[in-house]
Structure 1
């Protein structure tokens, strides 16, 4: 165990999150997502797992150490419900609450069509599979930077 590190963050996940650079993207997905095959196409090249946790809980763990990108308009995306792009299922509402809490502000998810999500996931740095059993528990997060206190800030943040 480490102090102040969420116990869901295993060594492999911590390694990948630390290795990511500004602008790299990670996928947090549900149990229905083709995680293993998609993960093989990513930069990291293998599937990471946070088993035994639903997607919102995994998001809380990841965002406890991962800054979101403040230099882009949409650093957090959700997979759209097929045929109902404006529908936001409970798992996505719960995930939204975790993002807002981590950021200390409202940061609405942008939606992305299912097949566009799959393609974007293949271009990501890594994929983290969760134990989420509800559908549409799939998200993209773009890593930001940790700036020194005297560094210039992005006006969007």
Structure 2
């Protein structure tokens, strides 16, 4: 056991977060995201029993967001015409606001298929049990 480390962060995930360098990306994926397909060149960490918000909140206690890009946090845009509500996005923005002085301005959106392409280049993908639709979030690591 370690002091000050959120218990939800496994030793495997802590190792990955530590290994990541500046500009590396981490995807926290909802339960519908094709993590294994997108993560063929990434480390895929299974956290099926957890939701994206609790994982994001724990990670951002340790993980610096990139200050050299406008949006170090990106969400997958809803497809035009898809009648999906995304209340989880407001939760993400509140969590980011606590971790980064830019607040919600640090959060951007990426078109769905462009998000998939960027996810293919991620250092790691966390596969969660999140049931909210369009709850995928990508973080870009900064420096300490």
**Structure showing greater Rg:** 1
1:106 Cα deviation from its structure 2 partner: 1.6
Give the structure 2 partner of residue 13 of structure 1.
13
Could you tell me how far apart the structure 2 residues matched to 1:70 and 1:33 are?
27
Structure-2-length-normalised TM-score: 0.91
Could you tell me how far apart the structure 1 residues matched to 2:109 and 2:11 are?
30
Kindly report which structure 2 residues correspond to 1:141-156, keeping only aligned pairs within 5 A, or say none: 141-146=139-144
Instruction: Point out where structure 2 has 5 or more consecutive residues left out of the alignment.
Output: none
Could you tell me how far apart the structure 1 residues matched to 2:85 and 2:128 are?
19
**Which structure 1 residue ranges, 4+ long, deviate > 4 Å from structure 2?**
none
Kept in 1: contact 2:31–2:48 (CA 8 A): no
Structure-1-length-normalised TM-score: 0.84
* CA shift digits 1:52-109 (9 cap, x unpaired): 2211111001111100011111111000011169x86111111111111112442332
1:114 Cα deviation from its structure 2 partner: 0.8
Give the structure 2 partner of residue 39 of structure 1.
39
Aligned residues: CA RMSD: 1.7
Give the structure 1 partner of residue 122 of structure 2.
124
Could you tell me how far apart the structure 2 residues matched to 1:106 and 1:80 are?
19
Kindly report which structure 2 residues correspond to 1:63-82, keeping only aligned pairs within 5 A, or say none: 63-82=60-79
Could you tell me how far apart the structure 2 residues matched to 1:98 and 1:84 are?
28
Give the structure 1 partner of residue 53 of structure 2.
56
Kept in 1: contact 2:30–2:127 (CA 8 A): yes
SS at match of 1:128: strand
Kept in 2: contact 1:78–1:110 (CA 8 A): yes
